[in-house]
Amino acid sequence: MQTPERFRSLAEMLLGDGEAQDGIALRTAQHGEGAVQVEESAAQDDTLELMREVRLFYARVVEAVEAAVETLVADIAVDVLGRELLLAPCDIEAIVDRALARFTSEQPLRVRVHPDDAVLLQCAVPVVADERLRAGDAVVELREGSVDASLGVRLAALVRAGH
């Protein structure tokens, strides 16, 4: 099958040299200098535009894949964590103890937890039942601010860390 004179394969366009350059040199020999320079310039413009479009497409694909992977990892983590919590509720006392130990220099004032967790929790600071929190959530109130140790925050930290 004979290809049109201006037809170039994608491989020729992306190569930019080597075989594609050989093709340009062959056309130069067949058609004379003036006509080929115009064709060569138009082909280079087309090649540059195609390469720009390929790079943009590649960047969009990479961004989409990265976003999809991040969402997929988070979804899997939520599913696994949900199943684990059905089997055994989280150890709110251990979570609060770690938070208090980590922020002891910040002078913790009190801990807010879900009412179901409040009856189970014993720690060095007053425990306040907070119906706005979910089971497994904890907020450690400090002299100058608070530390959110809610389940969602802990999970997001794990996902970001790649665990």
Query: Whole-angstrom distance between the N-terminal and C-terminal Cα of the chain?
Result: 56
Three-class secondary structure of residue 5 per DSSP: coil
pLDDT in tens, 83-125: 776 777 778 898 899 989 999 888 899 999 999 999 989 888 9
- Report d(CA 135, CA 85) in Å as an integer: 10
Give the pTM.
Answer: 0.50
pLDDT in tens, 16-64: 544 444 444 445 455 555 555 556 677 788 888 889 999 999 988 888 8
